[in-house]
Structure 1
Amino acid sequence: MATPAFDSSVLTRRGVLAAAAGSLLLAGCGQQGERPEEEPSASSAPSSQDLVVGASLELTGRGAALGVPQQRALEIGADALNRSGIPVGSLRRSIRLEIRDNRSSPREAARQAAELTRAGVQALVGGTLAETSVALAEAAQKVKTPFLSLGLGDGVVLPLAERTFSFQLTPDAVDVARRLADLVETQRLRRVALLAADGLHGDSGVRAVRAALRGSDADLVRTVRLPDTGRSFAGAAERIAAADPDGVIVWGAAPDSGVAARELRRADYRGPLFFDAGAVAEATLSAHNAAAVEGAYAVHPGCLSTSTLTATTRAELERRDFNYRYTQRYGTSNTFAPYASDALQLLAASARMATSLDRGRIRAFLQSQVAEGIAGGYAFTPTRHGGMESDSLAVYVVTQGAWRLYA
């Protein structure tokens, strides 16, 4: 039987912080309590009553497989919040989205951050690639605008002293790597190879996997980096297969993850495959990749496993509602976690508690958020601005062309 993605009996860091706060901030308004320290900022921009959120997303280019689902998550999340509005002071506000295509370019993402802030947004969301997220974080700091990163890869919000306006929603690489290492050890694999993407996301994976396997019975026998997207992965796959590993970890993002799996099979590697969270997207399960990825494992937020019959908590019901609306609108279920929808919920809760749309006040309340979102759980503090809590992660296996919770 599949294990639940969330276990309320486990004492977690988020649970301790939530108990101290008195409630989960996404669950209701609650009491205002003591005001957190604010950082000086430009006055909240427009005279409109809307909470205006600027999104810089990879709608084209190498990050589109992850960026497009986040655009959809933003729109579904905004529709849900706007059904009743957001109480901010004595008024009810609506969410208004300003979405831009950064074309998977860090330079374009930075330019858009400045442009959107000048146009009056109170917050920024985006960057599913680590490189665009870092560019957005640096730009957000300059313009004193809260930024919620959707990017995979550590370091987006570090060093914290230079990224006080940035928050990361995706899982930390070290947490994903630990779950993968546990899975490798459970299957008694002794020789493991790592095929990692180029760039910051792959860098994070190499560091995290090396550290996680160091304390296990498995040896990392070979590490190979994938070439830039658009170039053949065949040579990298052949180098991995030549090491004769018992298992291969593919650390990258869709669509590269599925292509890498296909090339590994062509190189006559027949053992188990293990993916990080970036692989869990529609492109990985495409018809071209179906045979190669069948039986592969992935560590990913547990939001994929909510049953329509057993959902009872507020978070589970919201996940069910989100997945229903996504499927109804787009004809397919969401696989890459709906971090963007959680970003809107976090911003709405912060604006509500701040009783203001001032950017500095929103930032101040963001860094005290303890919340269970649709994708998973978050526990931000003044000294920790991300990522997702480790107990939100689950293990999935591809079964008959779909991601299923692993027993």
Structure 2
Amino acid sequence: MATPALDSSLLTRRGVLAAAAGTLLLTACGEQQGQRSDEGPATSTADPGRHELVIGASLELTGRGAALGVLQQRAMEITVESLNLTGIPVGNLRRAVRLEIRDNRSDPREAARQATELTRRDQVHALVGGTSAETSMAIVEVAQNLQVPFVSLAAGDDIVLPLAQRTYIYKLTPDAGDVARRMARLINSLEVRRVVLLAADGLHGDSGVRAVRSALRDLDLELTRVVRLPASGRSFTSAARRAAAGGPDGVIVWGTAPDSGTAARELRRAGHRGPLFFDPGAVAEDTLIGSNAAAVEGAYAVHPACLAASTLTTTTTAELARRDFTYRYIQRHGSFSGFAPYGSDAVRLLAAAARAATSVDRGRLRAYLQTQVTEGISGGYAFAPIRHGGMERDSLGVYVVSQRAWTRYS
């Protein structure tokens, strides 16, 4: 079995990104390394008289998306605590960050209603949220119409496309094409030739189907079948049986937790014994626990490098911040999930935009978001006027499930 080669050009590009970012995001926003706070979640500021950067968040705290939405709430609260130790320098003021968090119950209509309410009634300066493509797309329409910056936490390339109609919209998750190409190289190195794609229903799955077809074709790998999972809440048994029919060498599961783990379990029940490959949406505690554990043991996932944050080799500002965030997350919640840092990065990016803009005006925040090149907790971002979405491709790594944990694969 061959070992995937590391692309030296990506390392160089990532090094340039980290050097260019420097202290732009992490230090400039007042991140205090090594400091701890035992206070509760920072959803409001201690001093109501201070000027504020107000961020509205519509998250899936209940319903099918709760496996990912709750992680974002935790991450955002931890990060706000950290930033509010000193406040954010915005012009001649130091502003505190205040979160207005709502539970959209995994319902796109509720997400749209909340986005409207947060923008018009609560006068938030920016919106964050939507861990599913459907809730994010509901918020996109509101944010664009009301001209308020929106940072999406969901996967799905269409969230920020077409750019001319998404001028206030940004996305943090990796682009599907980058994930699929990294996955295809892994599949090729493992000498897996006949592949079936089991893709989620909806926009995220649509992006995956397009990206996987292209990536496998480029490496002359055979995509023997595409099977779509039914809408959440329905049985995956039939879809899994169709995916496992004919004995494919490997199956790609392109979806999000909790559906990814359920699909893996049904594939094993249907008789598939070959390798499983997950996109980043699977990387949550729910995928590894309970009846999923045996089914996903040995499975691979492509995911940003934050999943393997080291506590020993921290040599850059970004690595120190990543270690500090991971430490505080585990201290408070007992374990760390690789999907969590997106919420943290959303807050940090907005704080950095406010600092650079010397204002919390919505239009200026939008303009300065698209100039940020920075290394966040999840990975590297390089926004530009012609690119509002996706993590830098060299932030991606490969992981394998070993004893109910995601372990870096080399």
CA shift at 1:244, angstroms?
1.2
Structure 2 residue 334 is the aligned partner of structure 1 residue 331: yes
Structure 2 residue 203 is the aligned partner of structure 1 residue 200: yes
- TM-score under structure 1 length normalisation: 0.91
CA shift at 1:22, angstroms?
8.0
Task: Tell me how large the CA RMSD over aligned residues is.
Answer: 2.2
Distance 2:321 2:361 in 1: 28
Structure 2 residue 354 is the aligned partner of structure 1 residue 354: no
Structure 2 SS opposite 1:55? strand
CA shift at 1:27, angstroms?
4.3
Given that 1:86 and 1:94 are in contact with CA atoms closer than 8 Å, whether structure 2 keeps it comes out as yes
Aligned to 2:41: none
Q: 2:145 aligns with which of 142, 145, 163?
A: 142
1:164-175 to 2 correspondence within 5 Å? 164-175=167-178
Unaligned runs of 5+ in 2: 30-47
Aligned to 1:25: 24
CA shift at 1:298, angstroms?
0.1
**Total equivalences in the alignment:** 389
Change (3 A) 1:6 1:57: farther
Aligned to 1:130: 133
Q: 1:93 aligns with which of 74, 92, 95?
A: 95
1:2-401 to 2 correspondence within 5 Å? 10-12=11-13, 25-29=24-28, 49-118=51-120, 119-401=122-404
Aligned to 1:43: none
Unaligned runs of 5+ in 1: 31-45
Given that 1:307 and 1:320 are in contact with CA atoms closer than 8 Å, whether structure 2 keeps it comes out as yes
The code of the aligned residue for 1:232 comes to S
Q: 1:406 aligns with which of 402, 406, 409?
A: 409
Per-residue CA distance 1:195-246 (angstroms, 9 max, x = gap): 0010000111011000000111320011100111111111111111113100
Change (3 A) 1:9 1:147: closer
CA shift at 1:122, angstroms?
0.3
CA shift at 1:7, angstroms?
7.8
Distance 2:130 2:49 in 1: 28
Given that 2:283 and 2:337 are in contact with CA atoms closer than 8 Å, whether structure 1 keeps it comes out as no
- TM-score under structure 2 length normalisation: 0.91
Structure 1 SS opposite 2:291? coil
Given that 1:241 and 1:267 are in contact with CA atoms closer than 8 Å, whether structure 2 keeps it comes out as yes
Distance 2:342 2:22 in 1: 21
The code of the aligned residue for 2:194 comes to R
Given that 1:51 and 1:94 are in contact with CA atoms closer than 8 Å, whether structure 2 keeps it comes out as yes
Structure 1 SS opposite 2:24? coil
Structure 1 SS opposite 2:365? helix
Change (3 A) 1:102 1:22: closer
The code of the aligned residue for 2:118 comes to L
Distance 2:16 2:285 in 1: 36
